[in-house]
Amino acid sequence: MGTEIERRFLVENGTWREQTTCSTVLLQGYLSVGPATVRVRMADNEAWLTIKGPTRGLSRAEFEYPIPAADAHQMLYSLCSGNLIEKTRHLVPHHGDIWEVDEFHGLNQGLVLAELEMDNEAHVFVRPAWLGNEVTTDPRYTNSSLALNPRPGSSDAVESGKMQ
């Protein structure tokens, strides 16, 4: 069984951009949002079906399978609930960790979240200066929630005018 262990944060400013090593445009939608979440995701001509269980602490079961891009496209535009999530994922190394900074587009335009996937819940990391409030346990900031209830420009940084 696969396990996802991650922490999520709002992003306070744009200084992370200077350290970005890779960026990928993602489109994703949800076939089911609970208790198990089933997601379809596309990046260029690659696609995946991902099943995630309920979160316990910082962890949850995760299973991900490659699927044909044509199938993913059809699922995204005919089977998904809510709105599609459009975002650019930037990989940002910081003190030995790789942060995934998601810059949302479309209905969630202006929202920027950072995620750190970890090997265990006790993982200690050096906090980047651009991190804002932690939202790991805030259900409003899960991608499946953002598909159903968009939060455009809703990060603390955007609300307080700190985004660069």
Beta bridge partners of 102: 89, 113
Sign of the dihedral defined by the CA atoms of residues 149, 111, 142, 33, in that order = positive
- 52 burial via Cβ count (<10 Å: 0-12, 13-18, 19+): buried
Sign of the dihedral defined by the CA atoms of residues 139, 160, 102, 114, in that order = negative
d(CA 30, CA 8): 19
For the question of residue 65 being annotated catalytic, the response is no
Query: Is residue 131 within 8 Å of residue 114, measured between CB atoms?
Result: yes
Which residue of the set 30, 65, 77, 141 is catalytic? 30
| Catalytic residue list | 30
